[in-house]
Structure 1
Amino acid sequence: MDYKTLKIEHRGASAWIWMSRPEVHNAFDETLIAELTAAFTTLDADPAVRAIVLAGEGKSFSAGADLNWMQRQGAAALEDNLTDARKLAGLFRAISMCSTPTIARVHGAALGGGMGLASASDICVASTKAQFATSEVRLGIIPAAIGPYVVRAIGERQAYRYFQTAERISAEQARHIGLAHEVAEPQELDARVQQVVDALLLGGPLAQAAATDLIRAVAHRPVDDEVAEDTAQRIATLRATPEAREGLAAFLGKRAPAWTQGHA
């Protein structure tokens, strides 16, 4: 697929999606939203892709919504406005529901929807120069589409502050509140992302997909009989798969499992 706002780079078993609107700090418009959704959906369906990295060209990761696009939507009929909002919500859901591990490589500004991209990804690795914000209230709107993912990343208590103040969040503070998993100097950012990719390639792909599905199933639920039974069903089912048998055989045989061939 030919993209107008993205560049796709394959690095071994990882695919890097580069947002390529540096002149507007990779701000969202209808084209970028549609192309990001398509790119994540397509790459997630490719068994040769074991990790997806999202990055931005230029000075910023993403400055959020393109203001010209926002103005167009604000002036549109309600149904058209709602259709566009649903597409934006669909983008974050597509990223969040990927079976393939996703990593946000964040440098510079990650504002509004840019912070949403970082939150919807499984893992966030940030430059020390990165800055985050849920800046929507300063424009008279709210971080609605990104809200579920940001709250999941930083917690309800922190969201009460940052959703209302729209303060800038430094990379170190982002790590402190749970948004960023790792912080690296700018010149070391790609190497640190690659280290995370390398770690991901050591895991079984079906197991990783099952692990993220497990998180969604048990998060914020009491450990009652239903949850306990569900976890038992999951491990019993997974243990019987060829991937699990290969993993156990490889461990006992003191060799690398088949899925790491060419990556280890």
Structure 2
Amino acid sequence: MTSSVALTCRGAVAEIRLARPGVHNAFDEQLIAELSDVLAQVEADAAVRAVVLTGEGASFSAGADLNWMRSMAKASEADNNADSLKLAALMRRLNYLSKPTVARVNGAAYGGGVGLVACCDIAIGVDGAKFSLSEVKLGLVPAVISPYVIAAIGARQARRLFITGEVFDAAEACRIGLLHETVAPAELDAAVERSLHWLGKGGPLAQAEAKRLALAMAGMSEAGQQIIDVDNAALIARLRVSPEGQHGLAAFLDKKAPDWARQG
């Protein structure tokens, strides 16, 4: 089985690369499990001072894999709930990782890919990247990633983007707070290195506590998040098996517009 995630350590920096470029680094059960395991590995490695998360190929992450979505569309509500809890655990692990994290956003990020960006402490993207929280187009909602996206861009922006599912560019992502910086593709690595330079100057314990402090002052804790995740996983599971969710998923997989989509 080909690995969906690649880990490379150079000095005190661990680079985690989503390694499914043929499907734009889309999520499936294997990628979720492998990324969770790699994050646990770098968390436990005292030699790792910072983590860079990026994608192979043209995209950062396109969100859910089509085959995975097809299988979930046929699954029971209980199975969908269990599946959603795994994704929730992945996002929670990344968000509360004690090591500083940098999202190297090399291309498009959709759905869960936006969630990964929002869970990182620093997010730097190429100026041609596109973003979307497109779940409503399928009759679904971005339930599992919602706490992290709202923490990044605020409730006001989230309300707009959650209900429109519109595509927005890197400049807009930077303006609303999803990205901290946008650069030309040729400058992406240099920009990431600048952040790593500054991260290397901080005490590792102090950085872990500073991250925990910032989250706590924003009302976020890992224990509290786990409780929220249970409700959000149940919500997405319920919507996936609902008539609207089933129709939206089927229409998307068949490359058709759902009945509710207005033409114009």
Bin for the TM-score computed over the shorter chain: 0.7 to 0.9
State the partner residue of 2:40. Answer: 41
Identity across aligned pairs (percent)? Answer: 52
Tell whether 2:71 aligns with 1:72: yes
Query: 2:18 matched to which residue of 1?
Result: 19
Root mean square deviation of aligned Cα: 1.4
* Alignment correspondent of 1:93: 92
For 1:214 and 1:19, the matched residues in 2 are separated by 29
Summarize deviations over 1:91-125 as a string: whole Å, max 9, x none. 10000010000111102210000101000111100
1:9 aligns with 8
Structure 2: distance between partners of 1:204 and 1:34: 31
* Structure 1 counterpart of 2:217, one-letter code: V
1:252: which partner in 2?
Answer: none
Does the aligned pair in 2 maintain the 1:3–1:35 contact within 8 Å? no
TM alignment of 1:109-188, pairs within 5 A: 109-188=108-187
Which amino acid is 1:5 matched to?
Answer: S
One-letter amino acid of the structure 1 residue matched with residue 20 of structure 2? R
The number of aligned residues is: 220
Letter in structure 1 aligned against 2:27: F
Residue in 2 aligned with 1:211? 210
Specify the code of the residue in structure 1 equivalent to 2:196. Answer: V
Structure 1 distance, partners of 2:219, 2:168, is 26
Q: What are the ranges of 5 or more consecutive residues in structure 2 without an aligned counterpart?
A: 221-264
Shift >4 Å, 4+ stretches: none
Structure 2 counterpart of 1:210, one-letter code: E
Deviation readout 1:135-170 (Å, 9 max, x if unpaired)? 111111110111110000000000010001111121
Matched, 1:105 2:125: no
Deviation for aligned residue 1:45: 1.3
Tell me, in whole angstroms, the C-alpha distance in 2 between the residues paired with 1:112 and 1:196. Answer: 26
Partner residue, 2:223: none
DSSP-derived class of the 2:7 partner:
strand
Structure 1 stretches of 5 or more lacking a match?
222-264
Q: Look up the equivalent residue of 2:156 and give its one-letter code.
A: R
Listed one character per residue, the Cα deviations across residues 47-100 of structure 1 (whole Å, up to 9, x for unaligned) are 100110000001100000012101211211222111111000111000001000
> CA offset at residue 31 of structure 1?
0.2
CA contact (8 A) 1:112 1:143 kept: yes
Radius of gyration: which is bigger?
A: 1
| SS in structure 2 of the partner of residue 61 of structure 1 | strand
